[in-house]
Amino acid sequence: MMDESEEQPNVQIHMLFPKRGHTQWRQWLASICATLSMVAVGTVYGWTTTMLTRLEKNKDVPLQITSDEGSWIVSIAVITSMVGSFLGACLADLFGRKKCLLSSSIFFIVGWLIVIFADTVVWLYISRVVLGVGVGMSYTTNPMYVSEVADTNIRGALGTLIAVNVFTGSLITCSVGPFVSYRTLGVVLLSIAIVFVASFVFFPESPYYLAMKNREREAIRAIMYFKGCNTEEARQELTIIVRNIDDDRVNSEGSRKKIRRLLSYNNRKAFAMVLGLIITQQLSGNFTTMQYLSKFFDAANIGIDADYATIIVFTVGLVSGTVSTMTVEKAGRRTLLILSAFFCSATLIILSVYLLLNSKKIDLTAVNLLPVILVILFVVAYQVGIGTLPNALIGELFPTSAKSVAGAAITISDGVLGFVVSKLYQIIGDAFGEHYVYFFFGGSCFVAFVFILYYIPETKNKSFGEIQEELASTCSKFSVNKYLRSSRKEQGDDRVV
C-alpha cells in the first residue's frame, strides 16, 4: 500500500493520437536530428572496437599501446560519462534540452581533434575524458527531448531511435575504420558531430521545458510547429502540459528538493524498473563484447576476417534496432523486453559452451562460424528489446520535473557498472577463460527475464497520467497470469486463463 504521506500523482490525460489534420512528421524529423548526437556517441564506442587491435599491433597508427592501456581507453570514457550526466542534467534544466544537446557537440569536436593529433597514449586518455563527457550529456538529455516532443502513439518508436543511432555510429566507424588511415577516420568522426549541429540547430525547444520556464508564447509556437495545429488547439495542448508538470515552482527548487522528488513513491518504482533494465544492459555483456569484438573474433578462431565479421554484427544490430522502432507500438514494450531477455540468455549460454570447448583445445573447425552466428542472434535479441527500450521508458515513466535527475542518476549507475564490467572482462577472461564471463552474462539475462516478467508494466499507448496512476496502484508486481490475460485480451481471445 502507498503511504498516505506519499506524493499523489497529478493524473491528466495527454493526447493519444493526433487529431485529424495534425501532423507528426516534424516530430520524427526533430527526433532523428536530435539523436544524431547518439550517432556521435556510437562513434566513441565504435572507435575502440575497430582501433584497439591496430593500436596494440602498431598497424598503420602513430603510436602503440599495451593491452592494459587499451582497457583503460575503453573504461575512461565510461567513467567521465558520469560527469557528463551531471552536467547534462544541470544544463538541460537551466538552459533547455536543445541547448544542452548542442553543447554536447563541443566535447565531441574537441575530443576527436585530440585523437587526430595524438602521438602518445596520454593524449588518447585525455581525448576519452573529453568524449566521455559528451556521451553522458547526450545520454541524459536525449530521452527528455524526444519524449517531450512526441505524441503518445509514436513516443516509444521515437525513443528507440536513441539506441538505434548509437549502433549507427558504431557501424559507420567499424565500416570505415579498417579501410582508411588513423587520422582520416578521426576526421570522418569529427564531421558527424558537425552534421548534428548543422541539422538540429533549427528545431524548436521542447514545449515541456518552455512551459516549465513559463515561456507560454514560445511553447505555443513549438506545439504548433510539432503538431501542425492552430493557435487555439496549441493553447489547449499547453494547458494539458502545464497540468502534467508537478510543480510550477520547480525552477526554484534546489538539488536536494529534486532528489527528494525522485524518492517519491511513483518515482522510486519507476527508478527501480529502469535501473533494473540498465543493469541488465551492462550485465548482458553487450557493451563490453562490442568494445572488444574484433579481438574476441580473433581469439575465437572464427575462420573469416574479424573486421568483416564485426561489420556484419553491427549491420544486423542496426537492422534489428530499426525493426524494434517499427514494431514497438504494435507489440508493446513489455512483450519485446520479455522476448529479448530470454533469447539473449539462450544465445549467451550456448556461446559460453562453445568457448569452454575451444579452451579445451577441442577441434571445432566444422562449427567455427558458430560464435559469429551466436553474436549476431544475441545482437538481434538485444536490440529488439533490452538495448532500445530502457531509454524510451526513461521518457515515459518520469514526470518532467524528475527526468533530469533520474536520467543523470541512471546514467551514473550505468557508468559505474560499465566501468567495472569492462575492466573485469579482460581480467577474468585472461585469468579463468572467457567462457566463465559469458556464463555469467547468460545467467544475468535469465534473471532479467524473470524481473521483467513479474515487475515491468506495459506503457504502450498510455498517457503520462495513466502510467502514473498505474505506478501508484497498490499492486506493484505483474503476475504471469495477468500478463497472459492481457496478451489474450489484446488478441481478442475471451477464454479464461
Q: How confident is the model at residue 328 (pLDDT cuts 50, 70, 90)?
A: low
Are the C-beta atoms of 296 and 289 separated by less than 8 Å? yes
* pLDDT, tens only, 85-105: 889 988 998 999 999 999 999
pLDDT of residue 11: 36
Q: Which three cell numbers stand for residue 28?
A: 520524427
Q: Which three cell numbers stand for residue 162?
A: 536513441
Which residue in 9, 476, 480 sits closest to 269, CA to CA? 476
Q: How far apart are CA 275 and CA 446, in angstroms?
A: 16
Q: Mean pLDDT in the chain?
A: 80
pLDDT of residue 418: 81
* pLDDT, tens only, 215-239: 889 989 999 999 888 888 888 888 8
- Number of helices (H), then strands (E), belonging to the chain: the values are 22, 0
pLDDT of residue 249: 47
Are the C-beta atoms of 392 and 143 separated by less than 8 Å? yes
Q: How confident is the model at residue 44 (pLDDT cuts 50, 70, 90)?
A: very high
Pinpoint the alpha helices (H) of 118-215: 121-149, 152-176, 182-200, 207-212
* Domains recognised in the chain with CATH numbers: 21-203 (1.20.1250.20), 264-459 (1.20.1250.20)
> How many residues are present in the chain?
497
Which residue in 92, 101, 102 sits closest to 210, CA to CA? 92
| The pLDDT of residue 120 is above 50 | yes
pLDDT of residue 326: 72
Inter-CA distances, 237 with 143, 234, 284, Å:
21, 5, 41
Are the C-beta atoms of 17 and 153 separated by less than 8 Å? yes
Average pLDDT over residues 292-315: 79
Q: Which three cell numbers stand for residue 256?
A: 536536494
Burial group, residue 66, by CB count within 10 angstroms (0-12, 13-18, 19+): exposed
Q: How far apart are CA 123 and CA 69, in angstroms?
A: 12
The lowest-confidence range among 100-109, 145-154, 368-377, 476-485 is 476-485
| The pLDDT of residue 252 is above 70 | no
143-173: burial string, b at 16+ Cβ within 10 Å, e else: bbbbbbbbbbebbbbbbbbbbbbbbbbbbbb
Please indicate whether residue 20 or residue 75 has the higher confidence score (pLDDT): 75
Find all residues with CB under 8 Å of 317, minimum gap 6, and list them.
Answer: 167, 170, 171, 379, 380, 382, 383, 387
Q: How many CB atoms lie within 10 A of CB 78?
A: 26
Which residue in 319, 318, 292, 294 sits closest to 306, CA to CA? 294
Are the C-beta atoms of 200 and 208 separated by less than 8 Å? no
Average pLDDT over residues 181-205: 95
